[in-house]
Structure 1
C-alpha cells in the first residue's frame, strides 16, 4: 500500500465532513465523477473499502473510521508544522466546528464563539446546538462542550469549569403540590426528565446516599424544553446551575431538596484526537477555559 498524494487524504476528509460526494464536489467546484474516481483510487491504494455508499447516504466502514481519524491527525500535524514555519504562524484561521447542549450553547457558548471569532477575522465558525451526543468523527466536529466526561477512549476529555446540578420547580407548582422534604417523596410528585426514558433513577449524595426511582410525567430530549416546563409549573426538574441560576436569583424557580446534593457533572471539552490539535482548536480551548469561569 502506498499513498503518495496528500490531496487524496484531504479529499477523503472533506467527503466525510461534507456528508456526500455531491456536496464535496460542489464545495471543491469539481465534477462528481472526479470525486468518485479519486475516492476509488484511494480505496484501491489502501486495499480497503472506506465508505458504504447508496444513492441517498454514506457511512464510514470500520476501516474508514480508523483511516479518517489518522488522516485528520496527519493533516493537523502538517498544518501545525506549516503554521510554525510560516511568518503568520500566530494567525488563527480555517474552519472551526463546535457542538454544545442547546441551553448551555445559547446562554454561554454562542456569545463566546462570537467574541472569539471577532478576535480572529480569518476564522470561520460553525456551531451545532444539540442535546444528542454526536459522533465527532462522523459529524466532522472539532470540539464538543458537554456535561461530564465521555467513556469513549478514542476521545480526549478536558475539564473546563465546575458545574453542579439541582432540583428546582416553580413557586406555583410548590404552592399547589407542596415541597418534598426527602428524596423518597419525589415518587408522589410530577418529575420532568431530560432524555428518552420515562423510568429513571435520580441519585443523591451526602451522609446517607439515596437513589430514587422516578416515573417522569414529561420527558424531552431537549433540556430547554424541560426548563420551560419547570417555569410553567408542570413539575420538578433536575437542571444544571448554568441553566437556571438567573431563574433562581429572580424567583422564577425555587431550589428543591437543597440538603441532598446531586452528583456533579463538570463541563468538559471533548475532542477526537490524541496528538497535536490545530491552532484554532487549541486557541478556542484556551479561550473557553479562561472565560467560562465558575457557574453563576
Structure 2
C-alpha cells in the first residue's frame, strides 16, 4: 500500500484545484511554474493515477483527483495551522501579503495604515497594487482586495470595512463668495464639480435627482478633490475621502441632510477554509484602524 509522504506535492495539488490554475498555485506557494508542474507530475507518477487533466485552455480534476482533493484540503489546512501556531509563539508571522486597492483610497488611507502594520509585523512582506480596475484575485495572486460593494463571485468573501456615505462639500472660500445652498434646487445656481468625462450628470439623492449642467467636469476623483479645495465649486465625494479636510476645516459639508449611502467599502479575500495568519492579522488591523473614522461619521 502506497503512503503519500510528498507534502509539497500535496500542497501544490491542493492549490491548483482551489485556484484553478497551476500558475496561480505556483505564485501562491512562492515557487516557479516549472517546479510546481514537475512536483505535481511526480505525485501522479507515484500514485500511478492522473489527478488533473491538462489542456492549453483549462484544467479539470479527475475522479481520483477529486477524492484526493477532499482529503488534501483538511491535511493542508492542519499543516498550515500547525506552522502558524509555531510562528505565532515565536512572534514571527511571515510571508508575502499582496494587496490591491482603488487609487484614491490607497493613497489617502491605505499607505499610512500599511506603514503601521509593517512596523507591527516586520517579517511580513507587502506588495501593494493600486488600480481602479477590478483585478482577478486568483489569476494575479492577490490576497486582499479593497473594493466597493459585494461581488457575486462565489470564490470570494467580503468583510465590511466602511460605509461609503457620499456628501456634498465645498471650501470655506467658495461658500463665502457664492453662499451656501439651502435646497437641492439651488445647486443649479452654483458651480458644481462632477467626476465624469461629460459636462453634465445626474446627482441622485434620497428625495430627488438633480441634473447638473453648469459644471466643472474632471475624470479623476483626486483632481476633483483638489479643485474643491481650491474653491472652484461644490463636489460630491465619499465621506472617507474628504474626512480629514472636513475635520481640518478645509472643506465644509453642504446640505448635510442629503448624504447618500452607496455601495460599502469591503475587504475581499478568497473563500479558503483556512486563511494564513498574515491575512487574518491584516484584516483585523484594517477594520480596527478604520473604525474611528466610521464612528466620527455616525456622530456627525
Q: Is TM more than 0.5 here?
A: yes
Q: 1 or 2 for the larger relative contact order (CA 8 Å, sep ≥6)?
A: 1
2:130 alignment counterpart: 129
Aligned residue in 2 for 1:183: 184
Structure 1 SS opposite 2:87: coil
Partner in structure 1 of residue 86 of structure 2: 87
1:94/1:124 contact within 8 Å kept: yes
**1:212 counterpart (210, 213, 229):** 210
Q: Which residue of structure 2 lines up, in the alignment, with residue 6 of structure 1?
A: 10
User: Contact conserved, 1:167 with 1:239, CA < 8 A, in 2?
Assistant: yes
Give the corresponding residue for 1:239: 237
- Structure 1 residue 137: deviation in Å? 1.9
1:231 Cα deviation from its structure 2 partner: 1.8
Contact 2:98 2:143 in 1 (8 A): yes
Change (3 A) 1:267 1:37: closer
1:220-250 per-position Cα deviation (integer Å, ceiling 9, x unaligned):
2x43222122223343322122221232233
Compared with structure 1, are the counterparts of its residues 262 and 48 closer, same or farther at alpha carbon in structure 2 (3 Å cutoff)?
same
By how many angstroms is 1:10 displaced? 8.4
CA contact (8 A) 1:168 1:236 kept: yes
Which aligned pairs between 1:1-296 and structure 2 lie closer than 5 A? 5-6=9-10, 8-9=12-13, 15-16=23-24, 28=31, 34=34, 38=38, 46-49=52-55, 74=73, 77=77, 80-83=80-83, 87-90=86-89, 91-174=92-175, 178-187=179-188, 189-194=190-195, 200-205=201-206, 209-214=207-212, 217-220=216-219, 222-295=220-293, 296=296
Distance (whole Å) between structure 1 residues aligned to residue 170 and residue 105 of structure 2: 19
8 Å CA contact retained: 2:167, 2:259: yes
**1:120-145 deviations in whole A, cap 9, x for unaligned?**
22211111223333222222211122
| Corresponding pairs, count | 264
The structure that is helix-richer by fraction is: 2
Q: Is the contact between residue 96 and residue 281 of structure 1 (CA under 8 Å) also seen in structure 2? A: yes
Q: Hey, what's the Cα distance between the residues in 1 that align with 2:195 and 2:80?
A: 40
Counterpart CA distance in 2 for 1:128 and 1:256 is 34
Name the SS of the counterpart of 1:277 in structure 2. Answer: coil
Mapped partners of 1:152, 1:213: distance in 2: 34
1: CA distance, partners of 2:259 / 2:210 = 13
* 8 A contact 1:170–1:231 mirrored in 2: yes
Q: Does the aligned pair in 2 maintain the 1:203–1:263 contact within 8 Å?
A: no
TM-superposition CA deviations, 1:237-283 (whole Å, max 9, x none): 22122221232233322222222121254432111215321111111
**SS, match of residue 284 in structure 2:** helix
Where structure 2 has 5 or more consecutive residues not aligned to the other structure, the ranges are 45-49, 62-68
C-alpha distance in 2 between matches for 1:195 and 1:241: 19
In the superposition, the TM-score normalised over structure 2's length comes to 0.69
Counterpart Cα distance in 1 of 2:37 and 2:275: 31
Q: Which whole-Å deviations, capped at 9, do the CAs of 1:86-108 have from their partners, x for residues lacking one?
A: 63354421111112233332332
The answer for unaligned runs of 5 or more in structure 1 is 53-60, 65-69
Q: Confirm or deny: 8 A CA contact 1:201 1:212 kept in the other structure.
A: yes
Q: 1:188 to 1:117 in 2, by over 3 A?
A: same
Deviation for aligned residue 1:17: 8.0
RMSD: 4.0
